[in-house]
Amino acid sequence: MAIHTLEPTRFFNLLGLREPPALVLRPGDSVRTWTLDAHGFDQHEKQVGERPNPLTGPFHVEGAEPGDALAVRLDGLQPNRSGCWSHRYLAENALEPSSVRRLPEQAYIRWNIDRKRRTVSPAEPPAGLELPLKPMLGCIGTSPADGQVLSTATAGTHGGNMDYPGIAEGATIYLPVFVSGGELYLGDGHATQGDGEIAGSGTEVSFDVRFTVNLLKGRRIGCPRGENAEWLFTLGNARPLEQALQQATSEMVRWLEQDYALEPASIGLLLGQAVRYQLANVFDPAYTMVCKVPKWSLRRP
């Protein structure tokens, strides 16, 4: 197991281009690197990438082949500058048409990050709003299936722009492998974000990132999964929202069957009464719905 440091020089707005890897990793390797914000600005607030969501990568994992899965443990996620930005107004598709007509033209607002106090607050009115700093990655994914080349503005079975606040430090994200090496990409850091990304942005900022990647041979999964200390979660990426919910729920059923040997009746009882759903993104071309199961509910007496 090795620890690699990557100073990226290329950033990507498309997944699936089969670009030369930024790094070749062995299972168990760790990486220290950094990412741009959603408009391509780095830690010095210099624009070195193009919007939308320029990602760092690709990371090629030796031995990864279609039908495997990557396990990406997020060891460290931190903003590497003191300023970030967001949209000022809600996105049109989060509102009724009558409310949309009253919206002014979309604008940006700057936020300040206080890393010592771990807060995020607007740099201009409304004064007094202060939110906890909760760093998360908006985008993480592998190269898509069937030779597709997909924008980093959307998401699918490969992952991508899912904008789920649970993709945070300490979580492990499981991603399907569709091409040799997997070709992992990540970026689009948010200092904080509400559920659904209903303004069309989080508080967008460049990040310092540390992660460790492992390979799950022969572990075929249908869409992204993840876990942290409290939850198992699956992420369905589709439109309409009902399809994203169905995808996330079906993937959770498969996970409980595979790893916890639960029968359909037990899964029905568990999910029917203990499941939690979280709307991760309702702004992008594919919506993201998260199906969550508390880990305590899976402990056997």
Reduced to 3 states (helix: H, G, I; strand: E, B; else coil), residue 99 is helix
Which of 224, 200, 220 is closest to 141 using CA atoms? 224
Residue-level pLDDT at 301? 65
Instruction: Read off φ and ψ for residue 250, nearest 5 degrees.
Output: -60, -40
pLDDT over 90 (residue 300): no
Q: Which helix (DSSP H) or strand (DSSP E) does residue 187 occupy?
A: strand 184-190
Q: Which helix (DSSP H) or strand (DSSP E) does residue 150 occupy?
A: strand 150-151
Residue-level pLDDT at 175? 98
Residue 288 tokens, joined: 């993201």
SS3 content of the chain, % helix, strand, coil (to 5): 15, 40, 45
Assign 3-class secondary structure to 226-275: EECCCEEEEEEEECCHHHHHHHHHHHHHHHHHHHHCCCHHHHHHHHHHHC
Domains and CATH numbers, the chain: 3-83+132-219 (2.60.120.580), 226-298 (3.10.28.20)
Measure CA 151 to chain center: 14
Which of 168, 133, 145, 115 is closest to 280 using CA atoms? 168
Q: What mean pLDDT is reported for the chain?
A: 96
**Predicted confidence band at 70 (pLDDT cuts at 50, 70, 90)?**
very high
Q: Which helix (DSSP H) or strand (DSSP E) does residue 98 occupy?
A: helix 97-100
pLDDT per position as a tens digit, 82-129: 999 999 999 998 999 889 888 888 899 999 999 999 999 999 877 679
* CA gap 102, 89 in Å, rounded: 11
Residue 109 tokens, joined: 């607002």
Residue 120 tokens, joined: 């995020």
Reduced to 3 states (helix: H, G, I; strand: E, B; else coil), residue 116 is coil
pLDDT per position as a tens digit, 228-242: 999 999 999 999 999
